[in-house]
Amino acid sequence: MSLTMKDLMQPTADKAAYVRGFVQCLTLQRCLGLLDLTTFFALLFEAGIGFPDVMRSGLNEEEIIQLREWWKLK
């Protein structure tokens, strides 16, 4: 069974885990060249995820630095 974007956009009881998993999935797709920045941020917005949610999600420092850089390019 494979996950779809619809599956990933279903919130869990643990919002931090949900945000972390969702952002990591999108980041991987972005790094592979499958998403442009506009689509990346559109999907975050559609999922109701803002930068404060990302900061509280427990992503590692390297992931947060990368997201900050992308946010600046937005």
If you write DSSP's letter for every residue of the chain in order, what string do you get?
Answer: ----HHHHTS--S-HHHHHHHHHHHHHHHHHTTSS-HHHHHHHHHHTT--HHHHHTTT--HHHHHHHHHHHHH-
| Residue 57 resides in a domain | yes
- Host domain of residue 61: 16-73
18 close to 11: Cβ distance less than 8 angstroms? yes
55 — phi, psi (to 5°)? Answer: -65, -30
pTM: 0.67
Number of domains in the chain: 1
| Residue 6 resides in a domain | no
Q: Considering the chain, what percentage of its residues have pLDDT values greater than 70?
A: 81
Residues 31, 9: Cα–Cα separation, whole Å: 20
Model confidence at 17, pLDDT cuts 50, 70, 90, reads confident
| Residue 35 resides in a domain | yes
Model confidence at 67, pLDDT cuts 50, 70, 90, reads confident
| Residue 22 resides in a domain | yes
